[in-house]
Structure 1
């Protein structure tokens, strides 16, 4: 069986899409090409499956549906969205930790599990 040569292809994508791809690639420790390939495969699988329901993913993100009830494609989409949501603090969380910093209280844990105080990271 002969093996076909795989050649790189150029595609024009908007700056907003590329920023998203780069961010996700960094979060998932993938190359930009690897992230795009991953998303293309997920999208293709979703289109081919015909059993992808975004309302179910939304319900799982809101806690109204157990993730074990999601199909494989739905679970992959849920995980991507869940990870993105967890990476970005809500306005309430930002305000909470901002107030803790102002009061000089602990604002998190370091890699060793030790409490970090506002004055410890003031120069960061």
Structure 2
């Protein structure tokens, strides 16, 4: 049974471009990459637990294979782009006080009072 999934626009742009270059459908390109990714994970040259350990700072990235480093880097960049719970809490508190700068729901820059204006 076919199922739908949501992929980010930047990923879909890559999939569409590559599917055209390889003369595959978009679904065929995604399926092809899934098979390749699975084969890499099962190859013995890739260990997701080691990537998780490197992301947690438990092992050095120099201990990873080149395949593991590629996945580690993608995961690292994604994690660094997302605020953590402490950061979310800090900025929520500043918004409640009307302090600092941020974005509204439409993505517009909003300026608040500075600490000296309190």
TM-score between the two structures when normalised by the length of structure 1: 0.55
TM-score between the two structures when normalised by the length of structure 2: 0.58
What is the number of equivalent residue pairs in this alignment? 96
* Distance in 1 between residues matched to 2:99 and 2:34, nearest whole Å: 41
Root-mean-square deviation (CA, aligned residues, Å) is 3.3
Query: Which residue in 1 is equivalent to 2:36?
Result: 41
Deviation at 1:64, TM superposition (A): 1.6
Query: Which residue in 2 is equivalent to 1:95?
Result: 89
Question: Structure 2 vs 1, CA of residues 65 and 116 (structure 1 numbering), >3 Å: closer, same or farther?
Answer: farther
Matched position secondary structure for 1:12: coil
* Distance in 1 between residues matched to 2:112 and 2:33, nearest whole Å: 39
1:30 aligned onto 2:50: no
* Distance in 1 between residues matched to 2:96 and 2:52, nearest whole Å: 36
Gap runs ≥5 in structure 1 = 1-10, 109-114, 120-124
Question: Structure 2 vs 1, CA of residues 117 and 64 (structure 1 numbering), >3 Å: closer, same or farther?
Answer: farther
Answer whether contact 2:101 2:110 (CA < 8 A) is retained. yes
Answer whether contact 1:46 1:52 (CA < 8 A) is retained. yes
Gap runs ≥5 in structure 2 = 17-25, 103-108, 114-118
Deviation at 1:63, TM superposition (A): 1.1
